[in-house]
Amino acid sequence: MLIVERVERLRAQVREWKSEGLRIGFVPTMGNLHDGHLSLMELARQHCDKVVASIFVNPLQFGPNEDFDAYPRTFEADQQKLQMAGVDAVFYPSVEEMYPQGQDQTLVKVPAKLTELLEGASRPGHFDGVTTVVSKLFNMVQPDVAVFGQKDYQQFCVIEQMVRDMAMPIELIRGPIARDEDGLALSSRNQYLSSEQRQIAPKLYVTLLDVVTALKSGNRDFQALEKAAIQNLSAVGFDSVDYVKIVHPQTLLESAPQENEFAVLAVAKLGHTRLLDNILVS
């Protein structure tokens, strides 16, 4: 497995592979990897001849109240996991390599109707940082396929619109949410849960399943379903709930009663740990 820190070296390797007619897959990450990330590597391997993973903690997507310096850097452990997963190359750039002009640089922005609701409502500018870094990484890696996880569903939708609007020649694949045996969505944040909080955390998924059951039975009182879900999460021990929303899976706006496809999205907190989950309903 190659470990590449410079863009020039990365591009040279990708050019060599493409000259051999090989198909390139790409999985961008911020490191601190778990089995959910590794499932995306496996998915990329199923669609491509060579897989490139990136590890880069992106300062542009951290807000003023979010501690960029405290984000866990676990490169040695990540490297071993990627090796075992059969990844062919790891792009591990410095901040200076990614942003040689500093943070005063061109930003890639997707329309606000998709980026200023849900996660964007509480994290202004977050998605501008995401689309900017992903756009740069796409230009650096030049993959045929890029794989992202469903857990950050809004992020996937934002990147999907960027790729479509900018006519990027990249096929996007959305990997399913990897879950623990009790249903908890795998996340780097789970390591911060106390043993008591870890017992409560899977009830986020259970609550979403209850919403899905109601939708499939024909219940279209979205506000009542959302309110009941929030109340249930509070009752089972969550400290606060940022939102539970039933939305259209493409626009992320409130669904119409006649719709038959939904995305049920939720964010709830246990202590300072913010847990995201979602289920797509068809």
Helix (H, G, I), strand (E, B) or coil at 5: coil
For the chain, how many residues are written?
Answer: 282
Catalytic residue among 37, 47, 126, 272: 37
Q: Is 53 exposed, middle or buried (0-12, 13-18, 19+ CB in 10 A)?
A: buried
Helix (H, G, I), strand (E, B) or coil at 23: coil
What distance, in Å, lies between the first and last C-alpha atoms of the chain? 40
Q: How far apart are CA 216 and CA 223, in angstroms?
A: 16
Tokens for 3? 């470990």
Q: Is 37 a catalytic residue?
A: yes
Q: How many CB atoms lie within 10 A of CB 90?
A: 23
Residues near 20 by Cβ (< 8 Å), separated by ≥ 6? Answer: none
Alpha-carbon dihedral sign for residues 141, 124, 223, 204: positive
Q: How far apart are CA 40 and CA 172, in angstroms?
A: 12
Helix (H, G, I), strand (E, B) or coil at 230: helix
- HSE-CB for 50 with a 13 A CA cutoff: 23
Compute the radius of gyration of the chain from its Cα atoms: 19
Q: Are strands 240-247 and 171-175 parallel, antiparallel or unpaired?
A: unpaired
- HSE-CB for 90 with a 13 A CA cutoff: 22
Residues with a catalytic annotation lie at: 37
